[in-house]
Structure 1
Amino acid sequence: MNLRRLLAIMVKELRQLRRDRVTLAMIMGMPVMQLLLFGYAINLNLRYLPAAVVDQAQTSGSRAAVQDLLASGVIEIKASAQSPQQLVDLLREGRISVGIAVPPDFERRKLDGREAIQVMVDGSDNVVQSAAAQLTQYSLDQPSDFHAPAQTPISVVSFYNPERRSPVNIVPGLIGVILTMTMVLFTAVAIVRETERGNMELLITTPVSRTELMIGKVLPYAAIGLVQTTLVLLLGLWLFRVPLRGSLWDVYLASVLLILANLSLGLLISTRARSQFQAMQMTFFVFLPSILLSGFMFPYAGMPVPAQWVSEALPLTHFIRLIRGIMLRGADLGDLWQDGVALLAFIAIMLTLAIRLFHKRLD
């Protein structure tokens, strides 16, 4: 082995890495991003879950009991309701994660040692369900002349997943994860592959416009995404008994929105990448935050505010809310219109940027 030739190869490789800005950014940026995501943005100790309270007793004891629950820091009032049925509606629409219902006979139930407060929990997220169960650990002492029990009995009712089966939470979100991974990757290499194989020269000589070329690249992969959605739905229903409480058409409409969002993002990446390897690198750089910050693996409520801002910019975050709301809570797209509008806005912005940045020329 000639050390001089070996050294020359090493220097050549380092110089090539220095010129490859995407690879250099991955080398430096990936460890930093993972450290920030796992050390700062991911938090399993949930606090300030969105909640609503219905106090039908309106006594000093019931108000003190509610204040003690709020003092735990687990929940925070984010909506108002006038009846237990309205709490159920808010849970179904995804506006709250916890509903607190105090019955009119609160004082009598407490004296008898019966359940005096009902905590309604959105069971479509197991982490939220576990966090809300902590409310039963707090002592709600109230002085009484009748020597009432020291604690106010609390019952926790889990909606939509009372058995707390993990597949019920995982499978709907897995649709979004699979679509994000495949759709972005497929289209990220689409334009670059045309250039590397020499097909771009042929396309340049045709009257095909930029818009026609980009949309023509998107539509075939959209059909593939629907096939993947159908496959995951069938396996989830058959193997894991995942319920489908909402409309199947709403499931497919939400999936189409995510598919188009990911395809437009992939097209934007393809206009910036110079090789298929760079396109795959940039795809992974987008895929990791989507998995960690979307609420699929780690709870959204446990993230700090800056991480939640980043999460809101990711299409997978909105799809997770849509698909869990439709499949598990029986909501429709009208109930979850904010997330649908967010996906439409993302599609419009990404596709416009991709079309503007793409040029029908080899340089």
Structure 2
Amino acid sequence: MESSKFNIPGVIGLILQNITVILTSFAMVREREKGTIEQLIMTPVTAFELIVGKLIPYTIIGFFDMVIALILGYIIFGVSVKGSIVLLILLGTLFLICSLAMGMLISTVAKTQLQAMQASIALLLPSVLLSGFIFPREAMPQLVYYLSCVLPMTYFLEILRGIIVKGVGISHLISPIVSLLALILIIIAATMKKFSKTLD
């Protein structure tokens, strides 16, 4: 019943999502604004290879932020990981990939950095309000509840609180893991399709 044990896992998820989405949302937009996107188009790399190449450095940054957030959560608030740290890192990496893919999708759609920032905020605010971080999803109206099902943060919060607070294993997290994987595939497919159209 301690608020810190309930909120700190959610804060870790929000930090990961906010940093990665905002950073990657500027990735292709900067190339377009500087005029270097044409040079990338001329290279023999495929759309998938280019997207993965853009995501790798941000994945490392996000992973580093996740470790720092876990350490500070323990030192400052005394929130320790009751479950498997290895499982938490693996599933955290899964969520990082999803967040980075969302940022890259925004980057392929936005024409300017201002548009990318506005789109990122428009995506991140519902994640705070609808994912269950502040309000329990069970108490939400049915339409809002279904809207929250399309947010990756919703499933990662369930994973975070399950591993950190309850200490559950992977068998209890199958549903959010499968949902997160499905969202990753959908977002990456949409990103690659939109990026290929941009190249054309």
Into which bin does the TM-score normalised by the smaller protein fall?
over 0.9
Instruction: Tell me how many residue pairs correspond in the alignment.
Output: 200
CA distance in 2 between counterparts of 1:311 and 1:290 reads 8
Which residue of structure 2 lines up, in the alignment, with residue 227 of structure 1? Answer: 64
Kept in 2: contact 1:318–1:340 (CA 8 A): yes
Q: TM-score, normalised by structure 2?
A: 0.96
Q: TM-score, normalised by structure 1?
A: 0.54
In structure 2, the CA distance between the partners of 1:311 and 1:179, relative to structure 1 (3 Å rule), is same
Give yes or no for the alignment of 1:252 onto 2:89.
Answer: yes
Kept in 2: contact 1:268–1:353 (CA 8 A): yes
Which structure has more strand as a fraction of its residues? Answer: 1
Quote the offset at 1:361 in angstroms: 5.7
Give yes or no for the alignment of 1:267 onto 2:86.
Answer: no
Q: CA RMSD in A?
A: 1.4
Displacement over 3 Å in runs of 4+: 359-363
Which residue of structure 1 lines up, in the alignment, with residue 161 of structure 2? Answer: 324
Which residue of structure 1 lines up, in the alignment, with residue 118 of structure 2? Answer: 281
1:212 alignment partner, one of 49, 58, 61: 49
Task: Report which of the two structures shows the higher radius of gyration computed on alpha carbons.
Answer: 1
Aligned-partner residue type, residue 193 of structure 2: R
In structure 2, the CA distance between the partners of 1:362 and 1:343, relative to structure 1 (3 Å rule), is closer
Query: The residue matched to 1:359 in structure 2 has which SS?
Result: helix
Kept in 1: contact 2:24–2:104 (CA 8 A): yes
In structure 2, the CA distance between the partners of 1:264 and 1:185, relative to structure 1 (3 Å rule), is same
Quote the offset at 1:334 in angstroms: 2.0
Give yes or no for the alignment of 1:184 onto 2:21.
Answer: yes
In structure 2, the CA distance between the partners of 1:198 and 1:311, relative to structure 1 (3 Å rule), is same
In structure 2, the CA distance between the partners of 1:190 and 1:227, relative to structure 1 (3 Å rule), is same
Quote the offset at 1:333 in angstroms: 2.0
Point out where structure 2 has 5 or more consecutive residues left out of the alignment.
none
Give yes or no for the alignment of 1:355 onto 2:199.
Answer: no
Aligned-partner residue type, residue 355 of structure 1: M
Give runs of aligned pairs for residues 50-89 of structure 1, distance below 5 A.
none
CA distance in 2 between counterparts of 1:208 and 1:334 reads 39
Quote the offset at 1:215 in angstroms: 1.1
Q: Which has the higher contact order (CA 8 A, sep 6+)?
A: 2
Kept in 1: contact 2:16–2:96 (CA 8 A): yes
Kept in 1: contact 2:108–2:198 (CA 8 A): no
Which residue of structure 2 lines up, in the alignment, with residue 59 of structure 1? Answer: none
Deviation per residue, 1:105-152 (Å, 9 max, x gap): xxxxxxxxxxxxxxxxxxxxxxxxxxxxxxxxxxxxxxxxxxxxxxxx
Kept in 2: contact 1:236–1:242 (CA 8 A): yes
